Amino acid sequence: MKIKNICCIGAGYVGGPTMAVIAQQCPDINVVVVDINEARIAAWNDADLNNLPIFEPGLDAIVKEARNRNLFFSTDVEKAITNAEMIFISVNTPTKTYGKGKGMAADLKYIELCARQIAKVAKQDKIIVEKSTLPVRTASAIKSILDNSGNKASFQILSNPEFLAEGTAVQDLLHPDRVLIGGDTSPEGEKAIQALVDVYAQWVPKNRILTTNVWSSELSKLTANAFLAQRVSSINAMSEICEKTGADVNEVAKAIGMDTRIGPKFLKASVGFGGSCFQKDILNLVYIAKSYGLDEVANYWEQVVLMNNHQKQRFSDHIVKTLYNTVSGKKITLLGWAFKKDTNDTRESAAIQVADNLLSEQAHVVVYDPKVASERIYADLEYLNTRLPEQNRQLLTVEKDPYKACKNAHAIAVLTEWDEFTTYNWQAIFDAMEKPAFVFDGRGILNQQEMEDIGFIYYKIGSQRPNFMQSN
């Protein structure tokens, strides 16, 4: 079976870049990305590529090449479903905020709505591809809805989890470590798997395309994210020990990373991991383990998230303690709001919790991020519901100029590792700050010696604290 028309439901951080790359690499496949969010689709269609709803290095050039050639963005969901032989589901699956599994299980409401819509519209056989991260065995729920509420069309469900990391999405899609495709072991299932293999094989070497059964594929995605997040929590746990013992977490990371069994990647201590996947996927895993009565397994993985929460909390506690136990009325500048560099995504960013903690201490928080819009920042805080929205707006200011953001600040906290932060004129920033001038580097990106030579009291996560801070 040769695929000529693909529909992708959901034009977000996963659907948008993934489909742009498929369209660019497969000029003979027509790709339509649909979303119910009209503003988002309008932004994808904006003639000015600076207005794309997602910032990813290299994405604008790919959209420019493929858009209106064989890549289309539309709100006409039904038409796109009707015309496609293969439908990717890339809608959001946030953690449930209500009912059973609240705060743990994935909310599958959007997935179910998609399945029902496909069932209602589809009159011909279709291959449905799960792209969103889903709990294990979601495929059977989708299949049950499709088989029981539709027009007697037949459906094959494939799991094809996304491993792209934001900020490097385009490179990850063009040169994936592997593409994972899980499907049914029946002859029809194998045909569907092959159809999707053929799409990827147009640019991915065959030995990197891995096929499995559908449950292994679904669980592999959760497992990969759990292992990655665990590495970050492990090095962050070490960062706290380093600060007490005089070891330096970067030196420790280098030393252990040279062991080929451990490897050097994903060992950067930070103020805490963020992003839409890590916490959600681990909580999901915890929920699945608990639901099978595997309490020890559940507790083991939950600790990764608890350690991450602790890392964020201890970072903001340390700021407060160092500033003589009060930040009330003091200007504290946060450099970075995105959960990592080179993205405008802020979901679960450590900055949100750090800012919220400082606001509760009545600090005057000022935020500068090169890519995140001010409304996003206020919306992130409002979502926490710690105080009234107007209080957030009173206490927190968003600046577009980093030097202005830092002027008269008592302290600066680096929360995202944007490259531009390392190129600033730190002497000029120091001169314009209140003294003593503190920098809390939650990403370990600034040069300690240079910062101290300028006169800053400089704290880098995972290094021994300056004498002044020892008691904190």
Partner whose binding site includes residue 331, from ligand ADP, ligand UDX, none (CB under 5 to 8 Å by kind): none
**167 lines the binding site for ligand ADP (CB under 6 A):** no
By CB under 6 A, the residues from 80 to 109 that bind ligand ADP are 90-92
Give 121 or 406: the residue with its C-beta nearer to ligand ADP: 121
**15 lines the binding site for ligand ADP (CB under 6 A):** yes
Query: How far lies 47's CA from each of 20, 42, 52, 63, 99, in Å?
Result: 16, 10, 9, 11, 43
Give 132 or 316: the residue with its C-beta nearer to ligand ADP: 132
> Structure tokens of 347?
């979901």
Give 126 or 221: the residue with its C-beta nearer to ligand UDX: 221
What is the binding site for ligand UDX (CB under 6 A)? 162-166, 225, 228, 232, 266-268, 270, 273-275, 277-278, 339-340
Partner whose binding site includes residue 228, from ligand UDX, ligand ADP, none (CB under 5 to 8 Å by kind): ligand UDX
Question: Residue 209: what are its φ and ψ, rounded to 5°?
Answer: -105, 115
> Are 416 and 351 contacting, i.e. CB atoms less than 8 angstroms apart?
yes
By CB under 6 A, the residues from 117 to 136 that bind ligand ADP are 132
Partner whose binding site includes residue 110, from ligand UDX, ligand ADP, none (CB under 5 to 8 Å by kind): ligand ADP
* One of 1, 113, 201, 237 touching ligand ADP (CB under 6 A): 113
**146 lines the binding site for ligand ADP (CB under 6 A):** no
d(CA 325, CA 262): 40
Q: Which of 8, 26, 114, 277 is catalytic?
A: 277
Question: Residue 398: what are its φ and ψ, rounded to 5°?
Answer: -110, 130
Q: 326: how many CB neighbours lie within 10 A of its CB?
A: 12
Closest CB to ligand ADP: residue number: 12
> Are 300 and 321 contacting, i.e. CB atoms less than 8 angstroms apart?
no
Per-residue binding string, ligand ADP, 32-51, x by CB under 6 A, is --xxxx--x-----------
Helices (H), 122-186: 138-149, 169-174
> Structure tokens of 446?
């600034």
DSSP string, 360-374: HTT-EEEEE-SS--H
Partner whose binding site includes residue 322, from ligand ADP, ligand UDX, none (CB under 5 to 8 Å by kind): none
Specify burial of residue 10 (Cβ count, 10 A radius: 0-12, 13-18, 19+). Answer: buried
Rg of the Cα atoms in the chain: 24
Question: Residue 362: what are its φ and ψ, rounded to 5°?
Answer: 65, 30
d(CA 465, CA 472): 9
Give 90 or 392: the residue with its C-beta nearer to ligand ADP: 90
Per-residue binding string, ligand ADP, 399-438, x by CB under 6 A, is ----------------------------------------
Partner whose binding site includes residue 9, from ligand UDX, ligand ADP, none (CB under 5 to 8 Å by kind): ligand ADP
Count of residues that interact with ligand ADP, criterion CB under 6 A: 21
> Are 270 and 341 contacting, i.e. CB atoms less than 8 angstroms apart?
no
For residue 277, indicate whether it is catalytic.
yes
Nearest-approach distance from CB 349 to ligand ADP, in angstroms? 14
Give 74 or 309: the residue with its C-beta nearer to ligand UDX: 309
**What's the half-sphere exposure (Cβ side, CA atoms, 13 Å) at 383?**
14
H or E element that contains 155: strand 155-159
DSSP at 152:
S
Nearest-approach distance from CB 326 to ligand ADP, in angstroms? 39
> Structure tokens of 165?
């990391």
Stretch near ligand ADP under the rule CB under 6 A, chosen from 10-18, 326-334, 363-371, 376-384: 10-18
Give 53 or 189: the residue with its C-beta nearer to ligand ADP: 53
**What's the half-sphere exposure (Cβ side, CA atoms, 13 Å) at 227?**
8
> Are 337 and 372 contacting, i.e. CB atoms less than 8 angstroms apart?
yes
Closest CB to ligand UDX: residue number: 275
* Residue carrying structure tokens 């504290």: 332
Partner whose binding site includes residue 37, from ligand ADP, ligand UDX, none (CB under 5 to 8 Å by kind): ligand ADP
Q: Which residues are catalytic?
A: 277
Which residues are at the interface with ligand ADP (CB under 6 A)? 9-15, 34-37, 40, 77, 90-92, 110, 113-114, 132, 276
